[in-house]
């Protein structure tokens, strides 16, 4: 394929950051001098931030209001993106090689833009991306293909010249159903790896081993 556009997810794909979202509730509970239950991750996984705050307040008898709990959780998340999160090994050379080959490179993410931009600036790689698209700005989550279409159309690309790179099964399913070529990236936060492998056009265990990706994009 003639590769024109590469659309990267951020968390769990470009950056090793998914563990933050798995642990932020227990980190907040510990910051209030309480010991979180082993089940706290599962209890808040499907909740909105407000619902999670209300649950934590009740479950751990916290003095803070739900609004104060949400602000505290936001503070933990902001600190992580501004000061800690790192690209996965091999990401930066891969991005440079894609750009050297003339591909347009962008991010399509459910995370807020200011957090993504803070992480990219700190790591000195903001200039390796041509655009950032967020679900909140687009108005649709990755259960719909809108964000992938918007990114592709921004660069004047077609599905036959575009690759979506994702780690999460729900986003991979969405992109594949809409006709995109998908490269899946291993991240331990995604437990359905057999399904990921079966769905994706290629499977990246590490950005330091990209033979399968280059073979796929070189094919007619």
Q: What is the pLDDT of residues 66-91, one digit of tens each?
A: 999 999 999 999 999 999 999 999 99
pLDDT at 48: 75
What strands, in cross-sheet order, belong to the sheet with 5-8?
131-134, 104-109, 5-8, 162-166, 181-185, 202-204
Q: How many other C-beta atoms can be found within 10 angstroms of the C-beta atom of residue 13?
A: 28
pTM for this prediction? 0.90
Which tens digits make up the pLDDT trace of 184-220? 999 998 889 999 999 999 999 999 999 999 999 986 5
Nearest to 204 by CA among 13, 9, 7: 13
193 torsion bin: left (phi>0), alpha (psi -120 to 50), beta (else): alpha
Report whether 130 contacts 105 (CB < 8 A).
yes
Cα–Cα separations (whole angstroms), residue 168 to 18, 78, 114: 10, 22, 22
Structure tokens at 145: 């293909």
Q: Give the mean model confidence (pLDDT) for residues 124-142.
A: 94
Report whether 77 contacts 4 (CB < 8 A).
no
Per the DSSP assignment, residues forming a β-bridge with 7 are: 106, 164
């Amino acid at each position: 394929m003639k590769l024109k556009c590469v659309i990267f997810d951020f968390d769990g794909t470009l950056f090793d950051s998914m563990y933050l979202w798995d642990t932020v509730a227990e980190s907040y509970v510990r910051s209030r001098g309480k010991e979180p239950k082993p089940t706290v991750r599962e209890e808040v996984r499907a909740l909105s931030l407000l619902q999670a705050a209300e649950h934590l307040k009740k479950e751990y008898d916290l003095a803070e209001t739900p609004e104060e709990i949400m602000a505290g959780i936001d503070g933990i998340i902001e600190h992580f993106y501004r000061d800690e999160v790192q690209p996965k090994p091999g990401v930066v050379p891969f991005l440079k090689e894609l750009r050297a080959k003339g591909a347009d490179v962008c991010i399509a993410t459910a995370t807020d833009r200011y957090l993504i931009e803070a992480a990219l600036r700190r790591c000195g790689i903001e200039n390796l991306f041509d655009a950032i698209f967020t679900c909140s700005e687009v108005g649709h989550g990755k259960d719909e293909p809108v964000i992938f279409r918007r990114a592709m159309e921004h660069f004047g690309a077609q599905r036959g010249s575009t690759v979506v790179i994702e780690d999460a099964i729900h986003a991979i399913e969405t992109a594949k159903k809409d006709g995109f070529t998908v490269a899946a990236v291993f991240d331990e936060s995604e437990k359905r790896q057999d399904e990921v492998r079966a769905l994706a056009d290629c499977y990246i265990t590490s950005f330091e081993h990209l033979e399968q990706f280059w073979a796929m994009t070189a094919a007619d």
